[in-house]
Chains A and B, each alone.
Chain A
């Protein structure tokens, strides 16, 4: 079945450091790929998405590129802030389906 694998957390960084959170997926066909973010005590929010190979999703300084050859969708940010501390979820949605399959989430902790 379809699945998403994310790097284990927590990821601990200092403010202004470079961030990479790895995400790889297994799916048939051409799924859409997403990153969701969950701030403490809140529900998940869509951060960015990409719907086809080589698409780059971007939002709030975060970027991720849909790489079909490596089945990856790694999340990056050039300079993290304390306010970016949250849990980040990679997810896929198979074409023709409405349900998302989530990875296990990666907690990011940014210290001043």
Chain B
């Protein structure tokens, strides 16, 4: 069973569209994250949720809105997509007291 699963794996869309990426973890973790990886492989934290509460919100445009319906899910909704949003988005989870992050396999978003 996949520990952290994201869907879709690939997402190609036009500028101005709204899209969502879903993430689920079956590890019983209470903390989940979204990271953005640009074309140069630089990885940057976007959001972190602990027990469905937002605890970290880095400098991210408000077109990005995370939603955590329960501890096992953290979805990312993006409004009015722009060319610069093209990247690979990684979901991750951890136990609050454990330092190890478990990553999903990523969603490659291409905005045309």
> Which A residues are closer than 8 A to B by beta carbons?
32, 34, 36, 38, 41-46, 49, 51, 87, 89, 93, 98-102, 104-105, 107
Contacts and interface: CB of A to CB of B under 8 A. Distances in A.
A28 to B, nearest CB: 17
Interface of B: 4, 31, 33, 40-45, 48, 50, 55-56, 90, 92, 94, 96, 99-101, 103-106
Contacts of B55: 98
A46 to B, nearest CB: 5
A41 B94 CA distance: 21
Top 7 A-B pairs, shortest CB-CB distance: A43-B103, A105-B41, A102-B43, A44-B103, A43-B105, A104-B42, A46-B100
15 contacts: A34-B99, A43-B103, A43-B104, A44-B90, A49-B99, A87-B41, A93-B99, A98-B55, A99-B45, A100-B45, A102-B44, A104-B41, A105-B41, A105-B43, A107-B41
A99 B41 CA distance: 18
A51 B99 CA distance: 10
A16 B4 CA distance: 34
Nearest to A105: B41
Contact of A98 (B94, B103, B105): B94
Contact of B31 (A51, A98, A101): A98
Contacts of A51: 99
Question: Which among B50, B55, B100 has the greatest number of chain A C-beta atoms within 10 A?
Answer: B100
Nearest to B104: A43
B103 A49 contact: no
Contacts of A38: 41
B105 A32 contact: no
Contacts of A32: 99
Contacts of A93: 99
Nearest to B40: A104
Nearest to A45: B103
A60 to B, nearest CB: 16
